Amino acid sequence: MAINCNSAGSARGVDHGSAAALDDLPASSGGFLAWIWVNKRANGDNQVLMSKGASGTAGFLWMVDGTNVVRIFVDLATTNLDFTSSNNALTNDTDHFVAVFCDISLSGNARGHLWVGSRSQAPVEVSYASRTAGEGAIVTDAALNLIVGNGAT
């Protein structure tokens, strides 16, 4: 799926519902890997790429913020997993391949990784501004819908 982040923060993405197969994806055996093509038009609004819940409530949030920082957040029982890239991980008006991997099945040792590439550059792991490895079981997102796309909340 390609996402055109055009600062239409109130626009909804694609709602995939909350089937049992979509629940607690970061806790899946072997981890959770997702990728998407993004074209961020301008700095300003936060653009959520994929979410089940919101930061600090339950589930997970994968987003690009107003300064083109890429972030993965997973709500865990003890310490939340929260990895953020350095500013300007994306360049405006450029197609970017953005990928995330997180594995919280490692008891007390949850990890996340973020990669960014473009049509002319192979994906590389980002430089991180902060990395908080998570700990504890996932706070279940079973009651929440999986949203993919611009402006998802």
Tens digits of per-residue pLDDT, 80-107? 888 889 877 888 888 999 999 887 765 5
Residue 52, CB-side half-sphere exposure with 13 Å CA sphere? 26
What's residue 115's pLDDT?
93
Bridge partners (DSSP) of residue 125 are: 115
**CA-to-CA dists, residue 106 to 96, 101, 109, 122, angstroms:** 30, 13, 5, 28
What's residue 40's pLDDT?
79
Find the length of the chain.
Answer: 153
- Per the CB < 8 A criterion, the answer to whether 74 and 62 are in contact is no
- Per the CB < 8 A criterion, the answer to whether 66 and 44 are in contact is yes
Say what the pTM is: 0.80
